Amino acid sequence: MVEFKREVPVSGKYDVVVCGGGPAGIGASLAAAREGCKTLIIERFGFFGGMATAGYVDPMSEFAYNGSLVTGGIPWEFANELVKAGGGIVEEPRCNVSFNPEIYKLVAQRMLLGAGVKLMMNTFLIGAECDDKKIKRIFVTNKSGISAIEAETFVDATGDGDLANFAGVPMLPLSERMQPGSFCFILSGVDTTTERMHIIHQKNHRFNHQAVFIRDTLFKLREEGEYVPQFGGPWLATTLEDGCITVNMTRSAVDATNAEEYCEAECKMREDIFRLVELICKHVPEFKNAKIASTAPMAGVRETRRIKGVHVLTGEEYVNTVKFPDSIARACHPVDIHLPGDEGQKLTFPKDAGYIPYRSLITNEYKNLLVAGRAASADSEAFAAIRVQAPCMEMGQAAGIAAGLAKRQGVCVTDINTDELVEIVRKYGSFV
Ligand SMILES: Cc1cc2nc3c(=O)[nH]c(=O)nc-3n(C[C@H](O)[C@H](O)[C@H](O)COP(=O)(O)OP(=O)(O)OC[C@H]3O[C@@H](n4cnc5c(N)ncnc54)[C@H](O)[C@@H]3O)c2cc1C
């Protein structure tokens, strides 16, 4: 170990700093700015969307349960903005939203700028300085160098709980079998007009949308002695452009918070993509002219750290639709556990759309920290349901509103009046 010590400038002071610009970070920043907070969002890539755009994770799941909308507010507004911009399609009955990742990036930045959020892209969060009960400042790095940023409230929307981890917040034990990562890609030149390719439209399946005809072909080839890398699904979605689809099928049991392991997994899965596409093009007629248009900027990460918050949402609470006095978001995705090998998924369906309490976004350690999205406080079962994009953005929305309320009430986010919070969340259009 060596010590790394240096003086750095304070590059800004805000009411709210949101770390991470995925679905949760977008929701948090929009809500905080709309609640009158001077808000900054920090994002390591040069665009927003997190897994949606950096991981080509398509569609945005999911808004409706038994035909009724259950996730509303900013996520639903965002979905409708995507549609208006020609970059999204809402498909009933579940109201999953397939989208074009390039238009997603544009819509996200327009909405953030429109709300008055200050953007800081290509910037990595690298540390935090805390006193007794508060995060005082964070440290970031970008091409301008290392600097510190101060805020009244910090929202950790990094997906991996990076800020909470730097601050020493205790994490829940990782799942026994952590969900695997998948490196998604876009194919062009696919014949999407045949009956079985209608699977790319979310309206054509209720819960699962595996392309079974591709899966069966690959299993058969493996039996015949061909080398077929490990895969799941495949799950296909439309990018809304003729002949172009996103494909989610590679698999790697990797801890993405271990940089070396993640690098190895990314290289291996890139090789796997090329091999799998070679086989599919050769053996599945719709893909005979298909080409890899692009691989996602990063291999997708399903599961890493989760904080041990004031409340740990359990799978039992989720599937039994337990409603909390401080419910701030809803989700209706099944408990969806992807298994590391070729075995597919384990799905458990909730009785009705489940609830997420505000207490799963705050910690006992810090009074000015909120953790929204994938790293919120939930056990591995509840996590496997609330990890999808619509509820992550709705958790972000609640975090932003809470920061605004804290500012107005002159208290910290752990001490706000949660009845008032829930009222405002409802006014935003959420069904809590
Ligand atoms: C293969 C795969 C398939 C999936 N399928 C679906 C699906 O069909 N439908 C669905 O809705 N969801 C799906 N999901 C889940 C969903 O995409 C994610 O759980 C969701 O995007 C989480 O949102 P988030 O905002 O919490 O985190 P993320 O989307 O991970 O966003 C985190 C953001 O923070 C940034 N960041 C991270 N660390 C730092 C740092 N230190 N400094 C600065 N910035 C940082 C990242 O660049 C990113 O933009 C899938 C996920 C994967 C991996």
* Residue among 154, 158, 361 whose CB has most ligand 1 atoms within 8 A, to mutate: 158
Contact status, residue 365 vs residue 412, Cβ threshold 8 Å: no
Q: Tell me the C-alpha distance between 340 and 253, whole Å.
A: 5
Taking the mean position of all CA atoms in its chain, how far away is CA 428?
Answer: 21
CA 43 from chain centre, in angstroms, equals 14
**Residue whose CA is closest, atom 5 of ligand 1?**
57
Q: What is the pLDDT of residues 265-304, one digit of tens each?
A: 999 999 999 999 999 999 999 999 999 999 999 999 999 9
Q: Is the pLDDT of residue 203 over 90?
A: no
Whole-number pLDDT of residue 202: 84
Specify the pLDDT at position 237.
94
254 within 8 A of 201, measured Cβ to Cβ: no
In the chain, what are the domains? 10-64+98-176+303-338+346-427 (3.50.50.60), 185-295 (no CATH)
Q: What is the pLDDT of residues 86-100, one digit of tens each?
A: 999 999 888 999 999
Measured distance CA(9)–CA(360) in Å, rounded = 34
Mean pLDDT along residues 59-73: 94
Burial classification of residue 283, based on how many CB atoms lie within 10 Å of its CB (0-12 exposed, 13-18 middle, 19 or more buried): middle
Question: Region 223-250: what's the mean pLDDT?
Answer: 95
8-state DSSP, 291: E
pLDDT number for residue 205: 75
| β-bridge pairing 118-120 and 124-130 | unpaired
Average pLDDT across the chain, whole number? 95
pTM (2 d.p.) = 0.98
Interatomic CA distance for residues 271 and 278, integer angstroms:
11
Per-residue model confidence (pLDDT) at position 354: 97
Radius of gyration of the chain from its Cα atoms, rounded to whole angstroms:
21
Distance from residue 236's CA to the centre of ligand 1 (Å): 18
For a ligand 1 pocket test, name from 51, 94, 99, 207 the mutation site with the most ligand atoms within 8 angstroms of its C-beta.
51
**What would the mean pLDDT of 311-326 be, rounded to a whole number?**
97
CB 35 within 8 A of CB 406: no
Residue 38's contacts (CB-CB under 8 Å, 6 or more residues apart) are 14, 15, 16, 118
pLDDT of residue 288: 98
